Amino acid sequence: MIMMGRQWSKQEFAIAFGFGLDVSTSSILLGILSHTASRNELLNRIAVVAYDLACLIWLYCFWAAPKTQASPALSPEALQEARKWEDSLKDFMSQGKH
């Protein structure tokens, strides 16, 4: 993200952080459970707690989300250029269906 010059918004970071927390916890627990002979109820609950924490992070982030702002008006030239690209893409995609 830094190399591309892009910055994360609060919502994007919260989504990525929630998924990262959930997946990393599940991966670690799979590794631990694959090397232990006995099942431990506490270990089985950690993944559920991690998912609950991820959901709380998502709720907090989107609950406090700023109101949507009106998008800036596009110039007619930019709109026309976008329509040309859209038509070009539609033509390209329809060529493969013949």
Q: What is the 3-state secondary structure (H, E, C) of the chain?
A: CCCCCCCCCHHHHHHHHHHHHHHHHHHHHHHHHHHCCCCCHHHHHHHHHHHHHHHHHHHHHHHCCCCCCCCCCCCHHHHHHHHHHHHHHHHHHHHCCC
Domain that holds residue 53: 1-67
Domain count for the chain: 1
In a domain, 3, yes or no: yes
Cα angle: 62, vertex 54, 3; to 5 degrees: 75
The answer as to whether 48 is a domain residue is: yes
Q: Per the domain annotation, does 60 fall within a domain?
A: yes
Does the residue 37 lie in any domain?
A: yes
pTM exceeds 0.75, yes or no:
no
For residue 68, pLDDT beyond 60: yes
Residue 92 lies in a domain: no
pLDDT, residue 53, reads 93
Residue 15: pLDDT above 70?
Answer: yes
Residue 77 within any structural domain of the chain: no
Report yes or no on 82 lying in a domain: no
pLDDT at residue 24 in the model: 93
Residue 80 in any domain: the answer is no
Query: How far separated are the first and last CA of the chain, in Å rounded?
Result: 39
CB atoms within 10 A of CB 40: 11
